[in-house]
Amino acid sequence: MRYGQIRKYDVANGPGIRTSFFVTGCSANCKNCFNTEYMNPNYGKLWTEKETDLIIDYLKKDEIEGLTILGGEPFESVRDLIEIVRKIRDKSDKSIWIFSGFKYEVLVNNKESKKLLSMCDVLVDGLFVEELKNLKLKFKGSSNQRTIDIQKSLEKNKICILDGYK
């Protein structure tokens, strides 16, 4: 798996101060995507154990509320992310948000994607749609996107929007 960047401190992609990383590779090609360079699966650096250890170290800091995984499209690197997130989960119980252009309904019906979802807390799903762009939304770009409480949704077998994020 390749990544475009790691942010030790990120306040734009989830509540509080978070650590985030951006996976590269995305086939969606959304109009006016804000990360066009991250569409290329060959862009960026190769992820190694060093990056996983760095994320774990960042998450040990009291001021860091959690981790956010973005892209590109994280679920196009699902196998690698399962292993990475498993190692992170072994060392941290802080919240993990993940963003995807794929809808929850698609992800939950794919064995590997569901496995990755089950290790995360919040999914912001749906493709960015330029015509639905809304700068007033919290942590998402267009009004078709949803902020889903993954654990509650898996438990109730229906989509549950995270409290405070309509």
Contacts of residue 29, defined as CB under 8 A and 6 or more positions apart, other chains included, come to 39
Structure tokens at 92: 């941290």
Structure tokens at 20: 């985030």
The b/e string for 4-28 (b: 16+ C-beta within 10 A; e otherwise) is bebbeebeebbbeebbbbbbbbbee
164 falls within a domain: no
119 falls within a domain: yes
The b/e string for 63-79 (b: 16+ C-beta within 10 A; e otherwise) is ebbbbbbbbbbbbbbbe
Residue 82 CB-half CA count within 13 A = 12
Residue-level pLDDT at 85:
98
Question: The domain spanning residue 69 has which CATH number?
Answer: 3.20.20.70
166 falls within a domain: no
CA distance 93 to 20: 15
146 falls within a domain: yes
35 falls within a domain: yes
Neighbouring-strand partners of residue 46: 2
Q: Which domain holds residue 149?
A: 2-156
30 falls within a domain: yes
Residue-level pLDDT at 115:
98
Residue-level pLDDT at 33:
76
Residue-level pLDDT at 45:
97
User: 105: helix, coil or strand?
Assistant: helix
Q: Are 119 and 97 in contact (CB under 8 A)?
A: no
Residue-level pLDDT at 82:
98
141 falls within a domain: yes
CA distance 91 to 14: 20
Q: Which amino acid is at 166?
A: K
Residue 47 CB-half CA count within 13 A = 23
Residue-level pLDDT at 104:
98
121 falls within a domain: yes
Please give the chain's pLDDT, 166 residues, in tens. 999 999 999 999 999 999 999 999 998 887 777 788 899 999 999 999 999 999 999 999 999 999 999 999 999 999 999 999 999 999 999 999 999 999 999 999 999 999 999 999 999 999 999 999 998 999 999 999 999 999 999 999 999 999 988 7
Count: domains in the chain:
1
